Structure 1
Amino acid sequence: MTAEDRRRIAEGLAAGLTYAEIARRLGRSRSTITREIARNGGPHGYRAARAQHATSWRARRRKRAPHADVSHPIDNRDVRTAREFEEQFVSMMIETGMAPMTARVFAALFISEAGSLTSAELVQHLHVSPATISHAIKWLTQREMVTRQREARRMRYFVDVDVWYHTWATSARAMTIWADTTRHGAGIFGTDTPTGDRLHTTSQFFELLGHDMGQAAEHWRQALSMRRQR
């Protein structure tokens, strides 16, 4: 696949075309287009220049080690270092409130080369059952941290490049719900009562926090959009 092909794939995705339509326009099979997008960031994270660079890099690695697994570093020391960082990444997420297995699944996806893995690859990597993977993925997709897409008879999961925008925006919406509910409670009890005053103060806190979080998320979205246009 050429750099021009990849540019047209990126344009097709941006225009909302289906994989089948993109394949027809390029004179390629749908399975070829599906594999190309899946290996290079998924439907929301695919970038032509990045895909071209990644493909060239994988080709160079195959020449150096024809039987190596391109999803992981070749050198044993690099494998060990990557594993150590993955464990550190998992520990950080657990410490900040994520369930252990959910953290392991997310870390495996996030650190993978393409930011995507199939259910079978996750099972093999984490040595757990498909049901365990499915449970963790359900939690992650509900919070827009992971997207999924069926490829023939298997399911592939993606960490979108906008993952932190989505999760932060979700948190900001949660702050709004807290603010609205506690404000309503303050009106019921009256701000001249201890309960009402406590609820009123709480609503002010979450209203300010939600506003600031919303602004921060929008600032990041604009910054990311500008970076993509370069």
Structure 2
Amino acid sequence: MPGGRLTQQERQQIALGLADGLAYAEVARRLDRPTSTITREVMRNGGPAGYRADLAHRATERRTHRRKTAPPGPVAPEQPHGRDAAAVREYEETFTTVLMASGMPKMMSRVLACLTITDSGSLTAAELVQRLQVSPASISKAVAFLDEQGLIRRERDERRRERYAVDDDIWYRSMMASARSTAQLVETTRQGVSVLGPDTPAAVRLENIARFLDFVSEAIARAAEQARDILYAKPPAPAEDPTG
């Protein structure tokens, strides 16, 4: 599997693949690249609908130039469990770009991704500053936003330091919030039916939209309730070695 930066020709192939409706995994297979490389490339350069090969290539060249002229940063700490530090950084960047594509601001996405892939699931403000190489003010603003959205929780460690932790329940709450938002849209859409007249083309369109969204909203809420326990599942115990 080839490594290194994507070439301009590869970016053109990505753009063609997206135009043909290919999944990231299929584009990656055709280019003999990791799927995460294609995902990160697309999401950081406009997303599936806005990706342009020439613009993406120029943006990458600008980022490369900035990295070459920037002062060297601290050496990344050794990864636990024998992990590949470069692979972890690449995955964290991919996770961040996908969160951004969902509508979350960049710094909030970086903090949430950093917390999520940390084994402890919690870090202090100083640890976040060191890991992300940003200012304390940036971290403060990001955690305030994430806390307000219910995506993280604040806690104190044995040294009375405030820590920010990802809550195992955040994805459940996120799904339920999405279902409530969709339900509100259903209600508003149906209000339009009575305003426009039940037998008019516009009202029929709104009613069909409402029925579709109502079904989706109920399905999301029901699935989230049924699957909630998965968020607290413990990994299976390792099998015992028969050789002792």
User: Which of the five TM-score ranges fits, normalised by the shorter chain?
Assistant: 0.5 to 0.7
Correspondence 1:101 to 2:107: yes
Within 1, Cα distance between the matches of 2:78 and 2:218? 41
Deviations 1:56-100 (A, max 9, x none): xxxxxxxxxxxxxxx851599722221122112112222333222
What amino acid does structure 1 have at the position aligned with 2:112? F
The residue that corresponds to 1:112 in the other structure is: 118
Shift of the 94–210 alpha-carbon distance from structure 1 to 2, 3 Å rule, reads: same
- Are 1:119 and 1:154, in contact at CA under 8 Å, matched by a contact in 2? no
The residue that corresponds to 1:30 in the other structure is: none
Question: How far has the Cα of 1:114 moved from its partner?
Answer: 0.4
- Are 2:168 and 2:231, in contact at CA under 8 Å, matched by a contact in 1? no
The residue that corresponds to 1:85 in the other structure is: 91
- Are 1:73 and 1:79, in contact at CA under 8 Å, matched by a contact in 2? yes
Further displaced range: 212-221 or 121-130: 121-130
Unmatched 5+ stretches in structure 1: 1-70
Structure with greater helix percent: 1
Unmatched 5+ stretches in structure 2: 1-76, 237-244
After TM superposition, the score normalised by the length of structure 2 is 0.57
- Are 2:198 and 2:204, in contact at CA under 8 Å, matched by a contact in 1? yes
Within 2, Cα distance between the matches of 1:221 and 1:72? 34
Q: 1:163 aligns with which of 158, 170, 187?
A: 170
User: CA RMSD for the aligned pairs?
Assistant: 2.9
Counterparts in 2 of 1:186-197, with a 5 A limit? Answer: 186-197=193-204
After TM superposition, the score normalised by the length of structure 1 is 0.60
The residue that corresponds to 2:59 in the other structure is: none
Within 1, Cα distance between the matches of 2:150 and 2:193? 32
Within 1, Cα distance between the matches of 2:134 and 2:96? 16
Question: How far has the Cα of 1:222 moved from its partner?
Answer: 4.2
Matched residue pairs, number? 160
Question: How far has the Cα of 1:194 moved from its partner?
Answer: 3.4
The residue that corresponds to 1:130 in the other structure is: 136
Within 1, Cα distance between the matches of 2:147 and 2:132? 19
SS in 1 for 2:198: coil
- Are 1:143 and 1:167, in contact at CA under 8 Å, matched by a contact in 2? no
The residue that corresponds to 1:199 in the other structure is: 206
Counterparts in 2 of 1:8-87, with a 5 A limit? Answer: 73=79, 78-87=84-93
Shift of the 116–224 alpha-carbon distance from structure 1 to 2, 3 Å rule, reads: closer
% identity of equivalent residues? 40
What amino acid does structure 2 have at the position aligned with 1:180? E
SS in 2 for 1:192: coil
Task: Name which structure has the greater RCO, CA cutoff 8 Å, separation 6+.
Answer: 1
Further displaced range: 128-137 or 202-211: 128-137
